[in-house]
């Protein structure tokens, strides 16, 4: 019995020392999941899609996401005042244990990433679920102030020099004609500038983004009950829908597909 | 694939079989322990000696036959003479049974480590294989010298002779290898041998199989991922360390059995270590000869040395050296790539944590305590070496982390002793097995975090790799069309480095492109006029290989990412674009402009990540 107790005691000591040793390892602090030729990872301002070493980010952010009121006025989930006063929190910087968990998950599987923001009256969770070149974006919002919004908008930002276009070849961003010509000749397409409106809703709920300094094309696909709108002024794509709470949470989602070229995007989606 | 894997095994097997006959001729008394290391070293030195002599005689005699044929002849003759002799010479009485389990366990550890390491990484992750394969391929194409920098300008200085590459070339001579399969094979066997060497050394020092097995696990699953790369990468420094450990183990085993180690094999071992890496080899030889002399004359020395005083003096001297190395001006040493490899104490502590977690924090003191308490001569001696090499690693000089490649084996023995001090107190059989299982799990845990950290900058699509399929296809095109043309390929350092190895089309320095060429390439990014770009490209010259009128301009995604870096980064020899990048619309527009606005650029290949232009000299240059 004494031998067994001694063995248990030393086993326990060994486990504790090994446990501390293992947890004392340095874990990567900015792991990212991969989808097609892009990566996705949480940052201080939201969940961003980007490419290694290229410095351009397409972000899903509570600073841009919004609720819409009956008078058509809107307010972002986290207001400028809250940003300036820093009265919100997020978990982009994970603690050591979370970093370890995320590192293991992404080392072996690479299937999801998420970030949570908390403001005075809201908790917003963004989740990206990845399968090959497809990212399903889920956002759940809970309102702590018992407000019950009717319409919520999700957004994804784009860059000033992006080609933002639809399935019919309408180009919704202002770009010099020689740039458009280069695009058309490179990809064998015929984009035509359509700049009549600063904001335009797309009937087939599909929009494509190509940045000349990135390799690949981002395709965004809304659901039938959603309005997919290009907001050229704010450089965001808005995905808006009428919502109803479920377990006191408002959940919305949409799909992002990442392709090698606009031709592949148009033929696949 | 099977041929490449076999050729990889031949890297170790061919010199061993050649050397076995040679060793038996010299050592009829059979006094060698672990004779395989002496077989390998003797065979390697014999092969290299014959190669060097033949090359220089052929040079002096002005023999016109290409050296590639002479080299193939040398390997063929050595194989023909020495390998069949293995079947007729007298065998050593080796207790093979004693080594079956450690050999199998080493293989299992190496296989597990390799499986974990290669998750999401389809190609070898050893960046250095490209330069070593480039030199090897040059030898196979008849370019040879004792000095690596004279075979290819990828080697800017001579840190070692070409013995390592000659052995690689010997194993590839008669086979059409797939480069990545070959390197996967040699790296796996290297890792296997690292695990086995870790076991054998720890077992010989402590007399404990358990300590040997723990050391084996540490040898395989602990990856020193900064500068030294002991286990996962086969390169001259890691190979030197591996052979040193086998030689050290052989020496102490022979001395323990009361036999004397034949001086000829001590000399051959020392020469091999030096030829294989001048700096790491010199330190290895110092400890190898030091060990031999210490044990040879210990009866004379021991009564005259007060161990405590010697230890105290050693610690004071080491501490002084560490402090002074941080103060004295060493700008002359800290130049070029070396500048990037001066690690602060904080960096070194973080490197240690990334490599081992906090294992050393607990188990090194316990190990030292046990060694001090037991006062066994060999374990005390091991501790001395571990501390001496550790002090060298702590010096504030460039590249000193390379010495960890030697220290890691000794350091692991100390940790293994520390672990076993606790484990042997677990006397219940089942609980002890559980504790070994938990140890393996912890080492896997540390290894995965370390690998995740190391590989996170290598993301390209769903892989973590230095290279992609598209670049391999580009290299295949170059090999088919230009490998016999003496063309000079120009791109950013990383693209050059990879393409030169895979296509055998020459570049200026590969990843170690010289500073003037880097400046020329930097100027090209500001240039719009195709004529001026052409002129600049023809200013890039290879100092080793004869000039040619064909220039190939490889415009890869990496090239454009590199061109967007600061001037400082572009001149930094340690800065590379480590992962593949695809061409963007802007990149494609640049390429199209160059091709359409000038007839000096002809697009000969393009895919998603690279375009290759053949460059024609402008009229101005032709005049």
For A136-184, how does the pLDDT look when each residue is reduced to its tens digit (9 = 90+)? 999 999 988 777 788 999 999 999 999 999 999 999 999 999 999 999 9
Look at B166 and B29; give whichever has higher pLDDT: B166
Residues A46/A145, Cβ–Cβ less than 8 Å? no
Interface contact A20, partner B, CB < 8 A: yes
Which of B459, B463, B580 is the best mutation test for A, with the most CBs of A within 10 A? B459
Q: Could you give the C-alpha distances from B233 to A12, A106, B194, in angstroms and in order?
A: 36, 24, 11
The overall pTM is greater than 0.90: yes
Look at B407 and B89; give whichever has higher pLDDT: B407
Q: Where are the beta strands (DSSP E) in chain A?
A: 33-35, 38-43, 46-50, 57-60, 66-68, 74-76, 89-90, 112-118, 122-131, 134-143, 151-157, 163-165, 170-171, 192-193, 199-202, 206-210, 217-221, 226-231, 236-242, 250-259
Give the pLDDT mean for B47-69. Answer: 91
Across A204-218, B82-96, B328-342, least confident range: B328-342
Instruction: Assess whether pLDDT exceeds 90 at residue B84.
Output: no
Instruction: Name the pairing type of β-strands A66-68 and A151-157.
Output: antiparallel
pLDDT at A144: 80
Distance CA A117, CA A125 (A): 6
Across A61-65, B36-40, B310-314, least confident range: B310-314
Distance CA B27, CA B260 (A): 12
Residue of A nearest to B358 (CA): A21
Look at B285 and A192; give whichever has higher pLDDT: B285
| Cβ contacts of B432 on chain A, cutoff 8 Å | 7
- The candidate with the shortest Cα–Cα distance to B433, out of A7, A19, A5, A9, is A7
- The candidate with the shortest Cα–Cα distance to B32, out of B254, B255, B246, B269, is B254
Look at B484 and B290; give whichever has higher pLDDT: B290
pLDDT at A147: 75
Instruction: Assess whether pLDDT exceeds 50 at residue B623.
Output: no
Residue of B nearest to A216 (CA): B584
| Cβ contacts of B361 on chain A, cutoff 8 Å | 21, 24
Residues B492/B562, Cβ–Cβ less than 8 Å? yes
pLDDT at B335: 53
Residue B487, both tokens: 């063309």
For B156-198, how does the pLDDT look when each residue is reduced to its tens digit (9 = 90+)? 888 999 999 999 999 999 999 999 999 999 999 999 999 999 9
Interface contact B453, partner A, CB < 8 A: yes
3-class DSSP state of B444: helix
Instruction: Assess whether pLDDT exceeds 60 at residue B332.
Output: no
pLDDT at B274: 97
ipTM: 0.92
* Domain assignments of chain A as residue spans, ordered by start: 31-268
Chain-centroid distance, C-alpha A240: 15
Residues A210/A217, Cβ–Cβ less than 8 Å? yes
The C-alpha angle B584, B472, B495, rounded to 5 degrees, equals 60
Q: What is the residue-wise DSSP string for B305-337?
A: --HHHHHHHHHHHHHHHHHHHHHS--TTTS-GG
Instruction: Please identify, in words, the CATH class of the domain defined by A31-268.
Output: mainly beta
Which residues, in sequence order, are bridge partners of residue B606? B611
Could you tell me what percent of chain B has a pLDDT over 70? 94
Mean predicted lDDT score pLDDT of chain B = 90
Q: Specify the length of chain B in residues.
A: 623
Instruction: Assess whether pLDDT exceeds 90 at residue B464.
Output: yes
Q: Measured between CA atoms, how close is A175 to chain B, in angstroms? A: 14
Instruction: Assess whether pLDDT exceeds 60 at residue B622.
Output: no
Could you tell me what percent of chain B has a pLDDT over 90? 70
Give 10-residue mean pLDDT values along chain A (269 residues).
88 97 91 90 94 91 90 86 90 90 89 89 93 94 81 94 94 93 92 88 93 95 94 94 86 94 89
Work out the end-to-end distance of chain B between its first and last CA atoms, rounded to an integer number of angstroms: 50
B361 vs A21: CB contact, 8 Å cut-off? yes
Look at B237 and A198; give whichever has higher pLDDT: B237
Distance CA B264, CA B41 (A): 12
| Cβ contacts of B120 on chain A, cutoff 8 Å | 107, 110
Give the pLDDT mean for B455-470. Answer: 93
For B357-391, how does the pLDDT look when each residue is reduced to its tens digit (9 = 90+)? 999 999 999 999 999 998 888 999 999 999 999 99
Look at B330 and A83; give whichever has higher pLDDT: A83
Q: Which residues of chain B from 113 to 152 reach within 8 Å of chain A, CB to CB?
A: 119-120
The C-alpha angle B231, B237, B240, rounded to 5 degrees, equals 90
Q: Which residues of chain A from 77 to 106 reach within 8 Å of chain B, CB to CB?
A: 100, 103-104, 106
A107 vs B459: CB contact, 8 Å cut-off? no
């Amino acid at each position: 019995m004494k031998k067994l107790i001694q063995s248990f005691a030393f086993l326990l000591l060994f486990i504790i020392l090994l446990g501390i040793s293992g947890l004392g390892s340095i874990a990567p602090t900015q792991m990212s999941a991969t989808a097609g030729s892009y990566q996705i990872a949480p940052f201080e301002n939201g969940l961003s899609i980007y490419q290694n070493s290229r410095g351009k980010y397409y972000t899903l952010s509570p600073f841009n996401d919004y609720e819409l009121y009956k008078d058509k006025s809107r307010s972002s989930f986290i207001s400028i005042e809250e940003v300036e006063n820093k009265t919100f929190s997020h978990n982009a910087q994970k603690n050591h244990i979370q970093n370890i968990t995320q590192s293991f998950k992404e080392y072996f599987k690479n299937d999801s990433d998420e970030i949570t923001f908390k403001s005075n009256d809201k908790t917003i969770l963004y989740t990206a679920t990845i399968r090959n070149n497809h990212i399903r974006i889920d956002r759940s919002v809970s309102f702590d102030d018992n407000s019950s919004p009717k319409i919520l908008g999700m957004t994804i930002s784009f860059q000033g020099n992006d080609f933002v276009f639809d399935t019919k070849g309408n180009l919704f961003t202002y770009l010099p004609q020689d740039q458009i010509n280069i695009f058309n000749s490179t990809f064998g397409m015929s984009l035509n500038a359509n700049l009549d409106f600063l904001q335009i809703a797309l009937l087939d709920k599909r929009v494509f983004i190509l940045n000349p300094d990135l390799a690949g094309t981002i395709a965004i696909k809304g659901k039938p009950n959603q309005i997919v709108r290009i907001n050229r002024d704010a450089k965001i794509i808005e995905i808006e829908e009428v919502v109803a709470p479920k377990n006191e949470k408002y959940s919305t989602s949409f799909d992002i597909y990442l392709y090698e070229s606009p031709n592949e995007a148009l033929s696949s989606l | 694939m099977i041929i490449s894997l076999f050729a990889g095994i031949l890297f170790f097997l061919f010199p061993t079989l050649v050397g076995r006959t040679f060793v038996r001729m010299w050592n009829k008394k059979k006094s060698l322990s672990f004779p395989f290391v002496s077989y390998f070293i003797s065979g390697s030195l014999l092969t290299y000696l014959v190669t060097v002599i033949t090359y220089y005689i052929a040079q002096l005699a002005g023999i016109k036959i290409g050296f590639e044929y002479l080299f193939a002849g040398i390997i063929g003759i050595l194989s023909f003479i020495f390998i069949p002799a293995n079947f007729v010479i007298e065998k050593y009485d080796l207790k093979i049974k004693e080594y079956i389990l450690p050999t199998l366990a080493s293989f299992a550890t190496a296989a597990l480590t390799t499986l974990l390491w290669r998750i999401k990484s389809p190609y070898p992750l050893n960046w250095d294989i490209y330069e070593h394969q480039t030199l090897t391929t040059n030898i196979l194409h008849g370019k040879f010298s004792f000095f690596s920098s004279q075979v290819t300008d990828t080697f800017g200085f001579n840190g070692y002779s070409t013995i390592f590459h000659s052995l690689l070339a010997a194993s590839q001579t008669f086979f059409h290898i797939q480069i990545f399969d070959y390197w996967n094979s040699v790296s796996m066997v290297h890792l296997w041998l690292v695990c086995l060497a870790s076991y054998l050394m720890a077992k010989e020092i402590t007399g404990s199989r358990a300590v040997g097995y723990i050391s084996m696990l540490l040898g395989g699953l602990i990856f020193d991922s900064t500068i030294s790369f002991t286990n996962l990468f086969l390169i001259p420094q890691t190979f030197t360390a591996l052979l040193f450990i086998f030689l050290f183990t052989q020496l102490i085993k022979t001395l323990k059995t009361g036999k004397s180690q034949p001086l000829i094999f001590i000399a051959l071992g020392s020469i091999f270590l030096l030829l294989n890496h001048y700096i790491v080899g010199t330190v290895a030889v110092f400890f190898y000869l030091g060990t031999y002399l210490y044990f040879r004359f210990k009866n004379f020395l021991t009564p005259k040395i007060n161990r405590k005083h010697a230890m105290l003096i050693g610690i004071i001297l080491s501490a002084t050296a560490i402090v002074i190395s941080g103060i004295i001006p060493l700008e002359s040493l800290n130049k070029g790539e070396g500048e990037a490899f001066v690690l602060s104490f904080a960096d070194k502590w973080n490197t240690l944590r990334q490599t081992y977690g906090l294992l050393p924090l607990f188990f090194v003191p316990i190990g030292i305590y046990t060694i001090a308490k037991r006062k066994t001569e060999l374990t005390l001696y091991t501790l001395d070496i571990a501390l001496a090499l550790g002090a060298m690693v702590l010096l504030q000089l460039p590249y000193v982390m390379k010495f960890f490649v030697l220290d890691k084996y000794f350091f692991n023995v100390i940790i293994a002793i520390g672990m076993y001090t606790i484990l042997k107190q677990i006397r219940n059989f089942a609980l002890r097995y559980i504790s070994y299982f938990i140890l393996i799990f912890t080492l896997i845990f540390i290894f995965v975090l370390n690998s995740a950290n190391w590989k996170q900058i290598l993301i390209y699509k769903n892989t973590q790799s230095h290279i992609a399929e598209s670049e391999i296809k580009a290299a295949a095109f170059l090999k088919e069309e230009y490998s016999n043309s003496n063309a000079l390929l120009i791109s950013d350092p990383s693209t050059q480095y990879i393409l030169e190895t895979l296509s055998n089309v020459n570049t200026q320095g590969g990843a170690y492109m010289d500073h003037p060429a880097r400046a020329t390439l930097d100027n090209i990014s500001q240039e719009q006029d195709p004529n001026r770009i052409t002129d600049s490209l023809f200013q890039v010259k290879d100092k080793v290989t004869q000039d040619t009128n064909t220039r190939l301009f490889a415009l890869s995604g990496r090239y454009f990412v590199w061109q967007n870096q600061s001037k400082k980064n572009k001149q930094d020899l340690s800065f590379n674009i480590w992962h593949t990048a695809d061409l963007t619309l802007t990149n494609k527009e640049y390429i199209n402009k160059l091709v359409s606005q000038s007839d000096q650029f002809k697009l000969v290949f393009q895919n998603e990540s690279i375009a290759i232009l053949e460059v024609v000299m402008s009229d101005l240059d032709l005049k």
